[in-house]
């Protein structure tokens, strides 16, 4: 047998790096980088697509959320022999009735609390700053605080020279921002108007969509796609339904607790807690801020009551509500959730904070499935070890 001819891939350095696989991986990364660079240079071609997605993505996201909230109810109606279309109409009528009750019964009282809180909020802030100023002037940090105060005073003395330029820039910014605000409001109103129509067709034909998409792919890929679609559907459904139910429970418990300790604006603060709790970990911090300011200004006893209520709510939510409603469906570590929220918020703002976790769950399902396929293919084409019986016995010994 002729000796194997030395090649580039048989050198010690290339073998140390991993051989052919490493070289091909580097070439693949290089090609991906070139593709990204080319697309970045011709990004103007995709401006119409960006505008289209910017106008369409909001109503679709809202419709998908509503769809996953209403789908269990529709399935329950189908189990009692109600046709799908009639079930959708019944759900829509009930929703219209509930929204009407909220508008005429709850919203007027809530609106009064909102206007009253907005009116009194500057007073709360002024009182809080005065109390903090009085505390710092008599504390061990007095010298540092007075030095900072002198620095601030020197800055304020030179401020009138810059007020004219600041006001001019502010007015220019407001004038240019009004058109963008009007555009955002118009897009939001159009999204709200179109959401019911999208929800109707999602409830009617949404479960047929995965089958339609799978028909676009070769038959040998359809089983894998079915698993991916099933995993994505399970992740989104469990997250949306679970997070909404958990948020409603938190808002209700906060309202009851704040009512017991006679916290001002208990209903409004409960609603704020319910809305912000949609975002894990960061939401509760945002929700407790206005309540903490009110409690600090009002009385120390109210602050103690606030701490007790918040601790009890968090314990009940963490030990009983979330495990029962959401379980371990997402399998995402809390540290990972925090990093995902920070990254998504930095990239996409408030929508990124809200949609970061379900987006991560979807990517996790897709990447995990492709990694499973990769392992199957790798094991399939991995060379068989000669004298496997002797090798195994030797390894056991």
* Bigger pLDDT: 143 vs 255: 255
Assigned token pair, 281:
């970990």
Higher pLDDT, 360 or 385: 360
pLDDT tens digits, residue range 69-118? 888 888 898 888 888 889 899 999 998 888 888 878 777 777 777 777 77
pLDDT of 396 reads 42
Query: What average pLDDT does this structure show over 40-55?
Result: 76
Gap between the Cα atoms of 315 and 122, Å rounded: 33
pTM (2 decimals)? 0.68
Q: What is the pLDDT of residues 226-271, one digit of tens each?
A: 888 888 888 888 888 888 888 888 889 988 998 898 888 888 888 8
Does residue 172 carry a pLDDT above 50? yes
Taking CA atoms, 339 is separated from 5, 253, 276, 288, 374, in Å, by 51, 28, 18, 21, 27
Instruction: Pick the closest to residue 344 from 358, 365, 329, 364 (CA basis).
Output: 358
Those residues with Cβ within 8 angstroms of residue 92's Cβ, 6 or more apart along the chain or in another chain: 196, 200
Report pLDDT digits (tens) over 218-230: 888 778 888 888 8
Q: Can you give the length of the chain in residues?
A: 397
Residue with tokens 């089958």: 211
- Say whether pLDDT at 329 is over 70: no
Token reading at 95: 């929703």
């Amino acid at each position: 047998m002729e000796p194997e001819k030395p090649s580039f891939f048989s050198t010690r350095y290339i073998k140390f790096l991993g051989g052919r696989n490493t070289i091909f991986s580097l070439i693949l990364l290089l090609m991906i980088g070139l593709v990204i660079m080319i697309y970045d240079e011709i990004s103007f071609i995709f401006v119409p697509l960006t505008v289209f997605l910017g106008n369409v993505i909001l109503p679709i996201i809202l419709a998908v959320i509503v769809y996953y909230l209403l789908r269990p109810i529709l399935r329950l109606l189908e189990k009692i022999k109600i046709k799908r279309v009639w079930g959708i109409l019944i759900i829509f009528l009930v929703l219209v009735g509930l929204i009407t009750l909220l508008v005429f019964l709850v919203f007027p009282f809530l609106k009064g609390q909102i206007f009253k809180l907005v009116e009194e909020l500057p007073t709360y802030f002024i009182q809080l700053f005065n109390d903090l100023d009085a505390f710092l002037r008599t504390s061990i940090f007095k010298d540092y605080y007075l030095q900072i105060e002198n620095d601030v005073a020197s800055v304020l003395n030179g401020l009138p020279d810059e007020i004219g330029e600041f006001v001019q820039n502010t007015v220019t910014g407001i004038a240019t921002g009004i058109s963008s605000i009007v555009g955002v409001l118009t897009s939001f109103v159009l999204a709200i108007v179109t959401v019911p129509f999208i929800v109707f067709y999602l409830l009617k034909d949404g479960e047929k969509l995965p089958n339609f998409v799978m028909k676009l792919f070769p038959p040998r890929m359809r089983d894998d796609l079915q698993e991916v679609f099933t995993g994505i559907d399970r992740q989104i459904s469990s997250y949306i339904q679970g997070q909404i139910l958990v948020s409603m429970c938190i808002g209700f418990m906060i309202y009851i607790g704040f009512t017991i300790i006679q916290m001002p604006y208990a209903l409004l603060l409960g609603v704020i807690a319910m809305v912000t709790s949609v975002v894990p970990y960061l939401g509760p911090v945002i929700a407790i801020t206005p309540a903490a300011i009110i409690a600090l200004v009002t009385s120390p006893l109210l602050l103690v009551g606030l701490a007790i209520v918040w601790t009890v709510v968090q314990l009940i939510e963490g030990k009983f509500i979330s495990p029962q409603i959401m379980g371990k469906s997402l399998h995402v570590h809390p540290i990972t959730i925090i990093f995902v929220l920070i990254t998504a918020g930095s990239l996409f703002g408030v929508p990124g904070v809200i949609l970061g976790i379900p987006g991560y769950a979807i990517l996790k399902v897709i990447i995990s499935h492709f990694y499973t396929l990769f392992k199957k293919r790798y094991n399939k084409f991995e060379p068989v070890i000669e004298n496997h019986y002797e090798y195994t016995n030797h390894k056991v010994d």
